[in-house]
Amino acid sequence: MSEELPAAPERPRAAPHRTAAVIPAAGRGVRLGPGAPKALRTLNGTPMLIHAIRAMANSRAVSLVVVVAPPDGAVEVKNLLAEHPLPERTDFLVVPGGDSRQESVRLGLEALPADITTVLVHDAARPLVPVDTVDAVIQAVRDGAPAVVPALPLADTVKQVEPAPADAPGSPEPVVATPQRALLRAVQTPQGFDRALLARAHATVTQDVTDDASMVEQLGVQVVVVPGHEEAFKVTRPLDLVLAEAVLARRRANDGY
């Protein structure tokens, strides 16, 4: 039989996953005290932002990093990236940020190319997140969860209070409730999303929020938690700088990082 088989019909190929990380880094860092914008402060000589960018680029699944720079700091951030090159496989973009974290993230999302299917949002202020945590979040999204957050159980008991009035800070605050600690999680970043879903959340939700997953929750979409990591803590107050430098020193001693 020399008859040629009819050409197989074109099978639609599954769209490839392409993952980008958006890094909001436009905050001032008021709680850290006076000085340069928080993301540009150094940890063991290297800007926090560079540590955070490397933490994303260390994942082989991340092909693009979008840095949302302080509004007047985009040139400085581009110069820093020239001094501290990323792995060859990782592209980067720098865009200026906005007045709130939410606005900064939105500006980062708007800069994403069309072929990005999965997006991570990662605080520049969490410079030491291990690559295994990044990969676990990406994997959970690729396995079908539209919104994934890394989180840890709480060490402290949490009380809901009636906050002291702004003109009397430090005055005793009545306790309203004590949520059961075992049901609570402290949420970290990177948070991972189906790109179209997160874009829709940012286009729809106008209320102030402190993380991206809560915007997706407001759309009625199920968010899931995967295990976070102690080293993904947020550098917020001066003592956190001491802890971050200690973690880096321990890494250097252990594996020459």
Residues in contact with ligand CTP by the rule CB under 6 A: 24-31, 38-39, 68, 97-101, 104, 123-125, 234, 236
- 237 contacts which partner out of Mg ion, ligand CTP, none, CB within 5 to 8 A by kind? none
Q: How far is the CB of 197 from ligand CTP (least distance, A)?
A: 20
- 46 contacts which partner out of ligand CTP, Mg ion, none, CB within 5 to 8 A by kind? none
As a whole number of angstroms, the distance between CA 83 and CA 104 comes to 24
Q: How far is the CB of 61 from Mg ion (least distance, A)?
A: 28
Closest-CB residue for ligand CTP? 27
Q: Output 136 or 244, the one with its CB closest to Mg ion.
A: 244
Number of residues forming the site for Mg ion (CB under 5 A): 1
Q: Output 27 or 73, the one with its CB closest to Mg ion.
A: 27
- 97 contacts which partner out of ligand CTP, Mg ion, none, CB within 5 to 8 A by kind? ligand CTP
Q: Output 99 or 143, the one with its CB closest to ligand CTP.
A: 99
Q: Output 18 or 122, the one with its CB closest to Mg ion.
A: 122
* φ, ψ for residue 43, nearest 5 deg: -120, 120
Q: Output 20 or 32, the one with its CB closest to Mg ion.
A: 32
Instruction: Give the dihedral sign, CA 202/207/210/214.
Output: negative
- 73 contacts which partner out of ligand CTP, Mg ion, none, CB within 5 to 8 A by kind? none
- 236 contacts which partner out of Mg ion, ligand CTP, none, CB within 5 to 8 A by kind? ligand CTP
Asked if 194 contacts 146 with a C-beta cutoff of 8 angstroms, the reply is: yes
Q: Output 98 or 130, the one with its CB closest to Mg ion.
A: 98
Q: How far is the CB of 145 from ligand CTP (least distance, A)?
A: 23
User: Cα angle vertex 131, ends 122, 117, to 5°?
Assistant: 55
Q: How far is the CB of 96 from Mg ion (least distance, A)?
A: 17
Residues 11-30 as x/- pattern, contact with Mg ion by CB under 5 A: ----------------x---
Instruction: Give the dihedral sign, CA 125/128/132/135.
Output: positive
Instruction: Please report, as ranges, the residues that interact with Mg ion according to CB under 5 A.
Output: 27
